[in-house]
Amino acid sequence: AQSVTQLGSHVSVSEGALVLLRCNYSSSVPPYLFWYVQYPNQGLQLLLKYTSAATLVKGINGFEAEFKKSETSFHLTKPSAHMSDAAEYFCAVSVGAGNNRKLIWGLGTSLAVNP
């Protein structure tokens, strides 16, 4: 069965430091992978997605993620953290086909950015 594991439920970085949020997936077929961000008391916003094109995917707000099939990973990075990046981040994998597609979610990583 497909699954998503996010390593580290809480990550804390200093403003200006590198952000690295880890995501590993389990999928029997080529996956479609997503990173979403959720700010306090808000819904989920798509940061970026991997759809079997380029393995390095660039998203909004300076985030990017690299799909590594050999490591079954899709880690999210940002070179320099900003205070506004403090939020909850979710990795998800799309499973199923046609009208039976749905998203399987990781448990999320809470990112804190310290001044």
In the complex, minimum distance from the CB of residue 50 to other proteins, in angstroms, rounded to a whole number: 9
Closest separation in Å from C-beta 62 to other proteins: 21
Nearer CB in complex with other proteins: 32/112: 32
Secondary structure in 3-state letters for the chain: CCEEEEECCEEEEECCCCEEEEEEEECCCCCEEEEEEECCCCCEEEEEEECCCCCEEECHHHCEEEEEHHHCEEEEEECCCCHHHCEEEEEEEEECCHHHCEEEECCCEEEEEEC
- Give the shortest CB-8-to-other proteins separation in angstroms: 14
Residues at the interface with other proteins (CB under 8 A):
32, 34, 36, 41-46, 49, 51, 90, 94, 96-108
